[in-house]
A and B are shown apart, each in its own frame.
Chain A
């Protein structure tokens, strides 16, 4: 072998160990961790775009304070317009072009379902997917995909168990959004009430997100004679349902999904008088609930919003949700130390044990069970009294 070849090979050999390590940890250098996400900044779900903004802002703040273990976090947040084909395209761009280490909190059940095949085939962690759909908690078939939200199906089970205990002869009417969210609630209710108690559900009616109002659906549900009204709906429609049920003079016990528990976005919009008595399950602290104004964790949140977002965002429970998840993500990354390979990040993210964030209710921790990737399983029931959420009962685990 001549001299040139020898030198080149020697150089290659010298570089190889470092190259091999870099190849093991895509998206990671000595000074930076690149992560990616898709968010609906435009389109029908654009109200959730603030979650991405909160997370980008959070990592910006962390970076100013030195990052995580000496590395800056570069969160690349792309718009997918809540369209699954677009989500697939953006994810491929993030993974293949931007070479991100992993995906953090892509939003939307359809988008996450669309990309999980790709992520699992290419072994890219899809961490803390922003959805509560039970379909995304499937470690056996999709081990690289983990959900962030409490699973809607589990929440529905909590309500069903509560009703079985407190109102065993209740007649239940269900309003549900005609997509993954709503259908998951039906499944959860059926899980507990199916069979022996299936006649407790007297009517279930759906609606599309593209509809202007659901007044007609609520009227139909009242006509069924039910005395429990379960509202598996997103904030806009939950507010309409609460308002209409009151206006109709329907004296039912109303239970609303946790996605719609924000006092500002839902109760105030419906009218606080009309929202009295509504029950929901909490896992986080509602930023529009006065009771938390002296809580240290929430004070930090409000201060963060004032400095890195806008004051209004401080009252936006979606923004706060993003903040909480970013904190959890930062904790996971920190626990990885210097082994930021995709496998290790996934391992740390799916073996959480008692992870606390300042926006979770006191006592609620993120903990994984062996056969489930859902780490947020504890919730507590609360009832709205016209001013604030009164927590009652114990922490329930679904």
Chain B
């Protein structure tokens, strides 16, 4: 049943470029990019219980990596993005080692520091030749997919869709496999899991690597979609937005990544309407709305939108 829903969703998304305008395609491409990043983060935090406040940094490595490979090394995007994401995997895997020793809160602190330090590292003088320093890197738009006749927005959109579908499918297989169960076991009962022979250290570091890989692919796609990367694109607010996304979307849930992505992409846009009621200074109030929704979500819907949907479906089934 769930599989049908996914396929229907994919089909709907696939034909969207025929009736959506460029701006909307751009927005939905962003949604898919965020969904990939959120999926990665969810694997780590939702399924494996390792709290990361710093995934914006891996997103940045993917974005800058792809941009530099495309612009400075002349690689086409379909090589640049995977290559950049491999770098992210390695970075995530390496970060996973110290992360092993850090429980919940301490890992949150460490990854928080990572998110805060990332923009400064990106703007570091020594890397200027590659990163363009504070000017950033302009990424040229990709050629049409498979040489077919389509405009740039459609091309980028379909690229994101294909990659997202592939990554979701892989994640679904991972989560429903023995490995997925092992990850969940490590999250819920780490000591029991070890006793049962699960190599927690290996699984945890690899999961960190995979989640960084996902974030890196998303970052690479984002660099191509936006056409520009700079240190300001990857600050702390991005990492926090990712966390908001998986929590509101639904932890340990694949659909949750999609709901979360829709939330973080569209909700801030509608908060502009608040200025009508509260005056011009209210342009900053979206932040407060975010905060309130986070708290309400935790209180009323701790399993996020995905959890609400599940309850709804259960209610309907019983009726």
Q: Residues of A with Cβ closer than 8 Å to B?
A: 39, 41-44, 46, 49, 53, 56, 78-79, 81-85, 88-89, 92-93, 95-97, 108-110, 113-114, 117-118, 135, 178-180, 182-183, 206, 208, 210
Contacts and interface: CB of A to CB of B under 8 A. Distances in A.
A113 B280 contact: no
23 contacts: A42-B286, A44-B235, A49-B284, A53-B280, A79-B272, A79-B286, A82-B232, A83-B237, A84-B136, A85-B226, A88-B226, A89-B27, A96-B21, A96-B22, A96-B23, A109-B134, A113-B228, A114-B136, A117-B138, A178-B120, A178-B125, A179-B134, A183-B134
Interface string B95-132: 00000000000000000000010011001010000000
B228 A93 contact: no
Max chain A Cβ within 10 angstroms of own Cβ: one of B125, B136, B232: B232
Given A42-B287, A96-B22, A179-B231, 11 more contacts: A39-B283, A41-B283, A44-B235, A82-B232, A83-B238, A85-B226, A85-B233, A95-B23, A109-B134, A110-B136, A113-B136
Contact of B228 (A42, A84, A183, A206): A84
A97 B23 contact: yes
Given A85-B226, A97-B23, A117-B227, A178 B134 contact: yes
Given A78-B272, A83-B233, A117 B228 contact: yes
B10 interface: no
A49 B283 contact: yes
A118 B227 contact: yes
Interface in B218-263: 222, 226-233, 235, 237-238
B177 interface: no
Nearest to A122: B22
Contacts of B125: 178, 206
Max chain A Cβ within 10 angstroms of own Cβ: one of B22, B134, B135, B226: B134
A135 B228 CA distance: 14
B30 interface: yes
Contacts of B27: 89
B284 A41 contact: yes
B120 A180 contact: no
B237 A81 contact: yes
B26 A113 contact: no
Contact of B232 (A41, A79, A110, A206): A110
Max chain B Cβ within 10 angstroms of own Cβ: one of A46, A56, A85, A97: A85
Contacts of A97: 21, 23
B266 to A, nearest CB: 11
Nearest to A133: B135
Contacts of A39: 283
A79 B226 CA distance: 17
Contacts of A118: 227
Interface string B269-301: 100100000001001101100000000000000
A109 B135 CA distance: 8
B131 to A, nearest CB: 12
Contacts of A182: 134
Given A41-B283, A113-B138, A84 B226 contact: yes
A84 B237 contact: no
A34 to B, nearest CB: 15
A89 B123 contact: no
A180 B284 contact: no
A107 to B, nearest CB: 12
Contacts of A96: 21-23
B133 interface: yes
A80 to B, nearest CB: 10
Nearest to A96: B23
A118 B139 CA distance: 12
Contacts of A183: 133-135
Shortest beta-carbon contacts, A-B, top 10: A41-B283, A96-B23, A179-B134, A114-B228, A42-B284, A110-B232, A92-B23, A110-B230, A85-B226, A84-B233
Contacts of A114: 136, 226-228, 230, 233
Interface in B53-99: none
Contacts of A41: 283-284
B30 A89 contact: yes
Contacts of B123: 178-179, 208
B280 A180 contact: no
Contacts of B237: 43, 81, 83
A88 B134 contact: no
B283 A79 contact: yes
Contact of B135 (A53, A117, A180): A180
Interface string B21-42: 1110011001000000000000
Nearest to B232: A110
Nearest to B223: A85
A154 B23 CA distance: 37
A110 B232 CA distance: 7
B26 A210 contact: no
A46 B287 CA distance: 12
B241 to A, nearest CB: 10
B283 A84 contact: no
Max chain A Cβ within 10 angstroms of own Cβ: one of B27, B123, B228: B228
Nearest to A49: B283
Interface string B5-31: 000000000000000011100110010
Nearest to B134: A179
A93 B286 contact: no
B22 A56 contact: no
B198 to A, nearest CB: 39
B230 A210 contact: no
A318 to B, nearest CB: 14
Given A42-B286, A84-B226, A92 B136 contact: no
Interface string B169-201: 000000000000000000000000000000000
B228 A88 contact: yes
A108 B22 CA distance: 25
B230 A113 contact: yes
Contacts of B22: 92, 96
Contacts of A85: 30, 222, 226, 228, 233
A172 to B, nearest CB: 19
Interface in B119-174: 119-120, 123, 125, 133-136, 138
A267 B293 CA distance: 41
A316 to B, nearest CB: 13
Given A42-B284, A53-B280, A110-B136, A92 B226 contact: no
